[in-house]
Structures are given as C-alpha cells and as structure tokens.
Amino acid sequence: MTRYHVVIGSVLAVAALSAAAQSAPRKGYIVELADAPAAAYEGSVSGLAATRPAAGAKLNVNASHVVAYLTYLNGKAGNVTAAVPAATVYHRYGVAFNGFAAKLSDVELQKLLATPGVKAITADEPSKLDTTYTPSYLGLTGPNGLWSKLDGTGRALKGEDIIIGHVDTGVWPEDPSFSDKVDATGKPVSSHLPGTVVYGPPPAKWTGTCQAGSGFTPSMCNNKLIGARYFNAGYKSFNGNSAWAFEYLDSPRDGDGHGSHTLGTSGGNEGVSALVGGASAVSGMSGIAPRAASLRTRPATPPLVAGTIRTRAATPPTPWRPSTRRSPTGSMSSTTRSAAARRALPTRCRRPSVPPPPPASMCRRRRAIPTSMAPRRWLISAPG
C-alpha cells in the first residue's frame, strides 16, 4: 500500500506543478530563431531558392520563391512553439527578422531556451520615446557622418544659413536651445544672461519680424531666434479671449510647451541641459540642425505663435545609450502670469514666477536629442 501512496503522491505533485506553471503570470518575449529571415536568406536549404535581394534591389514578399521560404520558416517556428503548447503567440516575424513574440511563463521560457532552433530570447518591453542619442542613431555624429562633412565655405553641415519655418504653440525664448550665446566652456546659455555671442546676424534674405505680445518683447529674439509671431484672429472670432489658464493668448510665448519641444528638436542648440519629465536631468540635448534658423507658427487652439531661431551646433558630446535592448524612441516677471494661472500648470512644467530666469535645465516637454544632432540653422516660431 505504501508504494501506491508514493506513486499517487508523485503524480499529484507533478500535476500540481504543471497547473502552477500554467497559471503563473506570463510575460512578453521576442524569440529569435536560428534560420535566416527572408531578407538575408542565401539559398542554403535544398529546394528553396535564395530570397536575399541583390544590392540596390527591393525584396518582393509576394514573389513565389519568397512565399515558399516564409512558409518553410513558419513550419520551423511551429516545431519550436510545439514545445510550449499553452503559450500565446501574438506575432510572427519572417521578413527582416525570423522569430515570434509570445507570452511565456518562467517555466516555458526556460524550456524554449533549451529548444533546438532557438537563437535568442529578449523581453518584449515598452520603450519610452524620450531619447538623447538620435543624432548618433541616425549616423550623423560618426567619423563619416553628415556632421563631419563641410560645405563649400568649410563649415560643418549642421544647418548653417538655413531658416526653419515652424508652426506650433510658440516658443519659450529663455530656453538655451534658442539662444545665440555660450558660456566660457562653450555651453549654450539663455540669451539674456552673460555670455559670448556665437551667431552672426540673420541671413540677408530674412525679412521677418519679432512680434511683441503677452510676456514677450522683441528683445527676446536674437541671432538664433530671429523671429516670432502669433496668429489668432480665427481662434478669437469663435472663442473670444477665452484660453487655457497657462496659455498666452496674444503672444508668441509658449505656455503649453509643445512648440518649444518640437522647435528644439528640429533646430535647438547643441549641448543643452534639460529636465525630462521635470525630474531626470540630461545633458547634451540637441536639435537635428543646430546651426539653422526656424520659423514657427501656431495654428491650433489656443492660437499659435510663430518664431524664428538661428541655432549653432557645438562639438557633439558622447551620446547617451540605453543599457538594455528593446524589442523591434522662471523666465518671466511676476506680472506676466497670474498666480492662479501658474498654479494651473502641471508641477513638472511650472516655471518660476519671478526673476531670475530659469536655469539651463528648465523643464521642457520635448523629445530629447543629443547635442551632436543639432545643425546650424535659424528657427522661427509662430502661433496661428
């Protein structure tokens, strides 16, 4: 009898472990398989022609030989997933990457790692869009990157003598991204602070203006931010003077933050420090064309602001890189904004209500881009 009790107990224990494995929380994973994807397959399987396109040619996924190879890959993937029948496969890859995405328990993960034909498994995790290394990612900063090239006058290709027209919610002129000055170390500083002017006058072709408005004076433009305007007649004809508490109705000034974000992304200075989400300090932020000039207009609700900025690129810093692999990212006086309006701002983007202006690391809602990405250009911001 004792032997039967032991056997029955063992069976029950195995069943319990199996049930626990099935009910355990599952996580998403990207499973890479050993066979080459269609874009790289060179014909090593008997009876299946190569699918890798010739140099300069495109892969036609509807071609019969490509369809045949993808069918072959699906069959191989099915052999692998058979090892974990309870797993949920939610995507299948085969063209540029060979594998699948699945929800796996810890037990199933270990089982697949030991399954023949599995090359690698990576956690399928969400990635935030905030980044400070886009110039490096795009290949602009390398030894042969675009920023290392020179134009006909010997200047680096970073947007020099280009004017960017930008239509959005305006501009925060105290942001170092839109300044024509640098400090003793070459780091951009707010244009109203002491520093060395590193931009010449706007291009001769520039005929724009810097429009005064609430919390904004023409002196807030400079040789980088060469113009700013707002256009709100259409908005006011339907809404009168009503606006969000944190907005500037008759002004190029950006109360929302989105316009400064996008303007800095396109042509903000190189090497600027900032706070992401109001908490995480980052340095080396840059626009893609830091030495260009931009025109920004604001055509949304509330009215938009147009501004012009001219930016200059500095020596690209070492870009930040993620540590893990992801699956296949106070500048105005107290009289310019009421206390109630300041309280209405989200804490993470609230600016000081009295001088002095905010530090270089002021809050901005923008996608962080490395300083090395910013070309030399002028930026123009205008709400509309």
Averaged pLDDT, 244-251: 81
Identify the weakest region by mean pLDDT among 30-39, 86-95, 144-153.
Answer: 144-153
Question: For 107-116, what is each residue's pLDDT tens digit?
Answer: 999 999 999 9
More confident residue, 379 or 289: 289
pLDDT digits (tens, 9 = 90+) for 283-331: 888 888 888 765 544 543 333 233 433 332 222 333 322 323 333 322 2
pTM equals 0.52
* Phi–psi pair at 297, nearest 5 degrees: -125, 155
Contact between 260 and 326 (Cβ < 8 Å): no
> What three-state secondary structure class fits 109?
helix
Give yes or no for a cis peptide into 302 (omega within 30° of 0).
yes
Choose from 215-224, 272-281, 358-367 the range with maximum mean pLDDT. 215-224
- Residue 301's pLDDT is 32
The pLDDT of residue 374 is above 50: no
What pLDDT is attached to residue 57?
94
Of 167, 174, 209, the closest CA to residue 306 belongs to 167
Specify the higher pLDDT residue, 139 or 367. 139
DSSP H or E segment with residue 29: strand 27-33
Instruction: Find where tokens 């107990």 sit.
Output: 9
> Does residue 256 or residue 276 have the better pLDDT?
256
Find out whether the peptide bond into 356 is cis, omega within 30 degrees of 0.
Answer: yes
Mean pLDDT of the 198-211 span: 88
Can you give the pLDDT at residue 117? 96
